[in-house]
Amino acid sequence: MKQVNGDTLAAARKVIAVHINYPSRAAQRGRTPAQPSYFLKPSSSLALNGSTVERPAGCELLGYEGEIALVIGKAARRVSIEDAWSHVSAVTASNDLGVYDLRWADKGSNVRSKGGDGFTPVGPALIPADAVDPSKLRIRTWHNGELVQDDTTEDLLFPFARLVADLSQLLTLEEGDLILTGTPAGASVAKPGDVLEVEVGTTDGALSTGRLATTVEEGTTAFADFGAQPKVDDLQREEAYGSREAAGLAAVGPVLSPELKAKLESVATATLSSQLRKRGLNNVSIDGLQGTRPGGKVVGLARTLRYVPNREDLFKTHGGGFNAQKRAIDSVNEGEILVMEARGEKGTGTVGDILALRAQVRGAAAIITDGGVRDYSAVAELEMPTWFANPHPAVLGRRHIPWDTDITIACGGATVQPGDIIVADSDGILVIPPAIAEELVEDCIQQEKEEAFIFEMVRKGNSVDGLYPMNAEWQAKYKEWEAGNHHD
């Protein structure tokens, strides 16, 4: 195979990069685009294998992103998706480097944040495009020898041919131009002295670019004071490292700790319901649904999806492609529960076996919909439970348009917001505001201890009069019983 050399770099008049293309990255970012979007990197940012890259003086967050680069082999202008791949001569490895410290100054264009000298190393070898299936490539990145990115092109949001065809509708892709095709989850931050390596190959291991190596060094020349200066905040740190945890930041927003989750799993929904009622929350049950896993119990944070009534012209614009339904399924995270608003409409499906399986693979704890479910038998066989109004064979477009995600919705007569805690079992489904969950579950645990005592006293032949609820005399006996038998 040919090697990337100075002539390769000199031939690249344009370097075009895609913002988000891997489902794993979309899930990490919490946003899944319906269409691809792009930015330009200057050809002066290109560098060869073995190069060094400078983290500019005063900057904290030099981000790296392993990517597959397409090399255009012949000019492409208004080409079709079917013809687009024939205009690609080779694929190689690339590293889309950038400093998050300057994103605030030109966010969107990325001119300064991602355009620095040496910020786009490529190589070392070129894999001929006609020797590979573009949907069967593997991208891997190592940070100081540790594998941090490992993904394939099998389920890209926008396959490579679509990117080439899409870009060619407006501009001519010229021979030698490079397209960086997006990065999977795992991109993070490098520091001076770190070594970054990126490799692209076929999934069967038959062909490989070899490892593209780049060493990070510390810049010593400060930015001039007549331009935007480096500036970072915790949001940029989170974006650069991939998560607040990886960036060493405290968690914010709704968090379901393992301890809280275990406590919620330990108490009955009936107990939770009574404690919610004591706090004036009487409309927090999702009603009228049945589950595929009777006897099971799930606790998780809500993600939401809203359907609106079908209108044919709007279904054409919102119902096809990577619509809100598919985006919701493809961005649900480990332990989350996808709750769907279908207005109680039972005359069509809202989820079927393939999308339910995808949610299970992504680690979803459950799906809850107040509409119908298609492919009931297959959905019922999944380990992940689904709560639904009824089985129905009709396709989505009969009654619904998938409209929006991660917004406040209504499901089964209850309002559900993203981040609410959902507790679901064979007794019912409850929506718990996260702000009161800790206090609520402690009171539930105490209530169930008292009820265990009452149950035992009734079994021994005592009347419920004065015992249920307990009067002062029984309260005193309960305290003695608890002290003698139920130390935590």
* Binding-site entries for substrate: 352-355, 374
Rg, C-alpha atoms of the chain: 28
Report which of 62, 42, 68 is spatially closest to residue 214, judged by C-alpha positions: 62
Beta bridge mates, 123:
93
For residue 288, how many other CB atoms are within 10 A of its CB?
Answer: 14
3-class DSSP assignment, residue 146: strand
Structure tokens given for 3: 């090697």
State how far the Cα of 62 lies from the Cα of 205, in Å rounded to an integer: 31
Amino acid at 328: A
Q: Residues in the chain, how many?
A: 488
Diameter of the chain measured on Cα atoms: 94
Report which of 455, 488, 445 is spatially closest to residue 267, judged by C-alpha positions: 445
Helix (H) or strand (E) holding 222: none
3-class SS shares of the chain: helix, strand, coil, % to 5: 30, 30, 40
Beta bridge mates, 120:
46
State how far the Cα of 333 lies from the Cα of 335, in Å rounded to an integer: 6
State how far the Cα of 161 lies from the Cα of 185, in Å rounded to an integer: 22
Binding site: residue ranges? 352-355, 374-375
Place of tokens 């490098």: 190
Judge residue 416's burial from the number of C-beta atoms within 10 Å of its C-beta, 0-12 exposed, 13-18 middle, 19 or more buried.
Answer: buried
Binding site for Mg(2+): residue ranges? 375
DSSP states along 295-309: T--EEEEEEEEEEEE
- In angstroms, the Cα distances linking 364 to 18, 265, 404 are 28, 16, 19
Q: Where are the alpha helices (DSSP H) in 51-123?
A: 81-84, 103-106, 111-114
- In angstroms, the Cα distances linking 137 to 27, 88, 120, 159, 177 are 21, 15, 20, 11, 20
- In angstroms, the Cα distances linking 179 to 96, 161, 208, 390, 419 are 11, 11, 18, 47, 37
